Amino acid sequence: MASIPTTHISSKKKKKQSALVRLRQPLWAALASTKIVMIKEYELSQAASESAGAEATDVDNLGNAPFYAQPGQIWVCYVGHDEVCFSTSAFPSEDKDQEMSGALAQSNSFFIDTTKPFYVRINNATWQPTRIIPIVEGQGENPTDPADDTKWDLSNGTTTRWTGDIYGLTPLSSYECEFVSTRSGEVLFSTSVRTAAAPSKSTAIAAAKPAPPSRLRPHESPATTIKASITTQEAKLNDEKTRFKTLRKDNNRRANALKKEIDRLTASVQSAGGNDDKFKQKITQNSVQQKQAEQAIEVIEAELKDISTVPEEILGQYRNKKSEWDREKAQFDGVMASFKSFKSSVDSEIQSLEDDNATFQAKRNKIASRIAKADSEHAQIMDANARGLDEAERRRQERVNIETEIARSHQSYVERLVAAQSANEEKRAALREPICRRNCPYTSGYE
């Protein structure tokens, strides 16, 4: 907790001391402050311009930074498993005198293309599997960096950008790439790259190759690099040979199959040549049968036209029968409608009578239950009579009264039931008479 106030006090002291120094030396302090501010602003503007012009999308496309505006710049734009792609900014186009001087200066070099402004060295070895392609632009822009005027002469305004790739590399290997000027032998750009893993059998070749020691020698020697590249190319050559053999076998098999098919078709064509007369006879016979069928069709069409006209006598009979049938149908529909209405009324009356009968049956059951209860009480009274005469007499009198009441009620219900049954019979007889009167005339008419 004590360290915080001490630090705060020391910073305050430093501020006071710097203020005293500025007061004593105002001119030098102002110049130093202005210089520091200018340097910071320049660094910020450079960082902003570089980040704005980077155009990096992913690890494979690292962008171009602000190199387009600076001549003689080289950058790596893609690193694969066996190749490295690069691009450059504007390089000055050389005239004939410069080309001759460059050729004489590099006459002692071994397999170096002096028509290009630079060549590639991999692990300090001149790398021949390199493609450098010019991209000719129109009128180039003057260099923005004045320091480059001593190195490149762009007064003529004609510049060329270059792009290319370095191939024949081994997957999962580290390389030191150097781009060397063909004019001065100066290293224009140097970087270290590591190739990616191969998607095919090259991965196994790269894994089988012993990795170089990373502490003493981070990169392989030129001889080892070239040997590894030759091994990789030989492996690719063997793969291509194997694929070529496979394709050749497939082509031979397909060619043999096509030859067999051609022979079969040729034999079928030759064998079919003698059957032309038979086919002509069949065609003639089919033509005759077609004409006969057309004539038969014409005859049948004429008969259909004659049959399609119906005589007037048959039409008149049809109309009479149709009107008679319609009249009988209307009468039948009327009778059926009246029968249905009468049947519905009879059904409703029968339903009401059945309901009354059910009510009487329920009452009869209730009376029967009462009789059973009286019988049980009678049995109890008889049991009590056996125990005492007085009690027996009293109960006998009660039983006589109950039996009398039961007989009277039974007689009353029987009479009501007989009356209801007679009434039902009368109603049924009354219902049968209209039905018979209605059915008898139609029955005699149809007979």
How are beta strands 118-122 and 125-126 bridged, if at all?
antiparallel
What pLDDT does residue 140 have?
41
How far, CA to CA in Å, does 373 sit from each of 29, 397, 412? 135, 17, 20
pLDDT at 444: 46
Cβ pair 100, 85 in contact under 8 A: no
Please name the residues in contact with 374: beta carbons below 8 A apart, sequence gap of 6 or more.
Answer: 402, 403, 406
Residue 79 confidence (pLDDT): 92
Range 411-437 burial, b when 16+ CB lie within 10 A, else e = eeeeeeeeeeeeeeeeeeeeeeeeeee
Would you state the structure tokens that stand for residue 184, as one six-digit string? 């001065």
Q: In a 3-state reduction of DSSP, which class is residue 151?
A: coil
Quick one: pLDDT at residue 417?
92
* Encoded amino acid at 106, one letter: Q
- Using CA atoms, how far apart are residues 122 and 195, in angstroms rounded to an integer? 13
pLDDT in 10s for each residue of the chain, 447 residues: 444 445 556 777 877 877 776 676 666 666 777 778 788 777 777 665 555 555 555 555 555 555 666 788 899 999 998 899 999 988 876 655 555 555 544 444 556 888 899 999 998 888 888 999 998 654 444 433 433 433 444 445 567 889 999 988 888 888 999 999 998 889 999 999 999 987 765 444 444 454 444 333 455 667 777 787 788 888 888 888 888 899 989 888 988 898 898 888 888 777 765 566 777 788 888 889 999 999 999 888 888 877 777 678 888 888 889 999 999 999 999 999 999 999 999 999 999 999 999 999 999 999 999 999 999 888 888 777 676 666 667 778 888 999 999 999 999 899 999 999 998 988 888 888 877 777 665 544 444
